[in-house]
Homo-oligomer: A and B are copies of this chain.
């Protein structure tokens, strides 16, 4: 596994991030050692410190880039009917959650291991993501196509429900992804009073 003095910076960085994401998600941040990450990549432990200031910064980078990718990928069109937008959000959220279950899991679980500064930064990104959903619910109320007593609570409830898919979904299991989206859409549509 271990190479001797081979240099390939362009790929080592991403490999470190991939290994860290996988290991942190599987065992928990504190349970994973820098040596384990290094072994997974095929470098020595000391090498990791050419790519990250410390272990915590490595986690922070993973969470920040995940949230930024999520925000960049979500394309909303406020001119469309709110129910269509909600349907699109649901599909987007389930799809990305199932594509990157490890990053999703980390983003909801390992905030506590960040410095206060990094934690605040990630929390702000997450808040923007939640606001994207709430905007749709507010539009639905204004249109009269949805009904609910509290858009903020509904936002939190829906995100928790959708993200929960990662807890039980198994590739090749009883239901494929489209079917999951369809079933959840029935539940969500009912929940928002449509």
Q: Which residues of B contact A110 (CB under 8 A)?
A: 28
Q: Which residues of B contact A183 (CB under 8 A)?
A: 149-150, 153-154
Tell me if A27 counts as interface (CB < 8 A to partner B): yes
Pick the contact of A148: B149, B164, B186 (CB < 8 A).
B186
Given A190-B190, A191-B187, do A160 and B149 touch, yes or no (CB 8 Å)? no
Give the size category of A's interface with B.
35 or more
Quick check: A156 and B150 within 8 Å, CB to CB? no
Quick check: A156 and B167 within 8 Å, CB to CB? yes
Q: Which residues of B contact A167 (CB under 8 A)?
A: 108, 156, 160
Using a CB-CB cutoff of 8 Å, which residues 64-121 of chain A contact chain B? 108-110, 112-113
Tell me if A31 counts as interface (CB < 8 A to partner B): yes
Query: How far is B51's CA from A184's CA once the two chains are assembled, in angstroms?
Result: 45
Nearest CB on B from A160, distance (A): 3
Quick check: B109 and A109 within 8 Å, CB to CB? yes
Given A190-B190, A191-B191, do A164 and B168 touch, yes or no (CB 8 Å)? no
Query: How far is B188's CA from A157's CA once the two chains are assembled, in angstroms?
Result: 10
Tell me if A175 counts as interface (CB < 8 A to partner B): yes
Chain A residues packing against B (C-beta within 8 Å) = 26-31, 108-110, 112-113, 148-150, 153-154, 156-161, 163-165, 167-168, 175, 180, 182-184, 186-188, 190-193
